[in-house]
Amino acid sequence: MWIRGAAIRPVPPHAVVEPRILAEVEADVGESESHEMLTRWQARYEAEQPAMADRLTTLLDSPLDDTALAVGFFLEIVIYATFVRAFAARLRPVSSDLLHATEESVSVEEELRADHPEEPLEVDDVLRAEQPAIVNFIQDHIDAVLETSDDDDAVGLDVAGGGVDVDDLQRVYRHVMISVLTLSHAVMPPATYSPGNSSEAMA
C-alpha cells in the first residue's frame, strides 16, 4: 500500500508534535478568555510568521462560508500556538519559498494519487502519518462542524448558526493541512539531534 508521500517531504522526528502539547493548548483556548487568547496569538503569528499570516489573511478575506472561515482561523491559530509551545525558539520564520514549495508538493501529491485510484489512501492519510496528533485534532473539529454546524461550541468560537458549505470547509481544511506541513518543516533540530537516531527527543 502506498503510504509515504511521493512528492511530500517526510516530517523529521524532531518536528513531530506530541499529543500532550496539543491537549494543553486546546485546554487553554477552551477557557473563558479564549477569544482574547486567540487574539493575542494572532498578533504574535502576524509578527513572527508574516508569510503565513498573509496567507491566512487572504483566506479570511475570501468569499467563503462564515462558519468555515471561523473554523479555519481557530485551527490555524491553535496549531501555530502548539508549534510554539512544542518547539519554542527552534521554530524559525517560514519563508515565502518554503510556503510555496509546500503548497506545490501537496498539489503534486494530489495529482499523483488521483492518477492511481486503485490506492485507497488520500493526501490527508499521508499527513496523518507525518503529524498524527495534529491531523486527528483538525479532523475531529471538521467532523464536529459537519455534524453540528449550528452548535457554536463545536469550534470554540462564536460562529453563525445554520449549515456550513462543505466545499468551503474543504478549502479551509486543505489550507490548514498545508500550514501544518509548512510549520513542520520550519522546525530546526535540537542541538543534540542525530539524523540516525529515530528516538531523538522532540523538544
Residue 65's closest CA among 168, 192, 175? 168
In this predicted model, what pLDDT tens digit does every residue of 134-192 receive, in sequence order?
999 999 999 888 887 544 444 444 344 457 888 999 999 999 999 999 999 999 998 87
Q: What is the pLDDT of residues 34-53, one digit of tens each?
A: 788 888 999 999 999 999 99
**Who has greater pLDDT, 47 or 123?**
47
> Is 130 in contact with 181 (CB distance < 8 Å)?
yes
Higher pLDDT, 119 or 34: 34
Dump strand ranges (E) for 107-178: none
Taking CA 141 as the corner, what is the angle to CA 120 and CA 167, rounded to the nearest 5 degrees? 65
Give CA 4 to chain center in angstroms.
19
Rounded Cα gap, residues 135 and 192, in angstroms: 27
* The pLDDT of residue 160: 43
